[in-house]
Amino acid sequence: MSWIALAFLVVVVPLGTPRYFADSGFRWPLKQSTTSYLLVAVLGLAGLAAAIGGHLPVASSIPHELVVVASVAAATLGGGPVTETVFRLAAFKRAAGDDAYDEVEPSPLRGGMWIGLLERAAIASTLWASWPEGLAVVLAVKGLGRFSELKQHAAAEQFILGTFVSVLWACAAVGVGRLIGL
């Protein structure tokens, strides 16, 4: 069952990766929201399979290094589409009595996709290194780097929302990896 959980965790990587090539003209056949929901479902299935597998009498023969690499890759690459979908859900407001959504102003923070990649990789790495204080260091550096931009209300909201989603996604991927490695 642990191998099945690892397979689900590895599937997160190719599902999340196309988002980072969208600006180069590459078109993924699924809508971003669909991809995000699929990413959450696949990571959840990986966690479920890992939790069930941890209670089975068969010992796991998966190399620890493979689990670490897979979970850091899933944390890094899978979190971007999920974070952007949360941004879209937060940035759209329902028109009165209508099912249509009106888009609000564009993102006030530039470079967020690449900062998010680095943030999730650093968080997953610090958790695997058993150095949870690294979370504080990563978030402090991110906050200091964005300090001047956070005076705008919209930028502060996006910063907080993006940080929470990124951190939760990275922690979930590492948690699944730790369940697989039990």
Top-confidence residue, 132 or 30: 132
pLDDT band at 177 (very low <50, low <70, confident <90, very high): very high
Q: What is the DSSP letter of 182?
A: -
What's the domain count of the chain?
A: 1
Mean pLDDT (the chain, rounded): 82
Longest dimension (CA), the chain: 56
Predicted confidence (pLDDT) per residue in 116-136, tens digit:
899 999 999 999 999 989 989
> Which spans in the chain are helix H?
2-16, 32-53, 64-91, 112-128, 133-146, 153-180
**Domain region containing 159:** 2-180
Extract long-range pairs of 15-19: CB within 8 Å, 24+ residues apart: 15/39, 15/42, 15/78, 15/81, 16/74, 16/77, 16/78, 16/79, 16/80, 16/81, 17/77, 19/80, 19/81, 19/84, 19/113
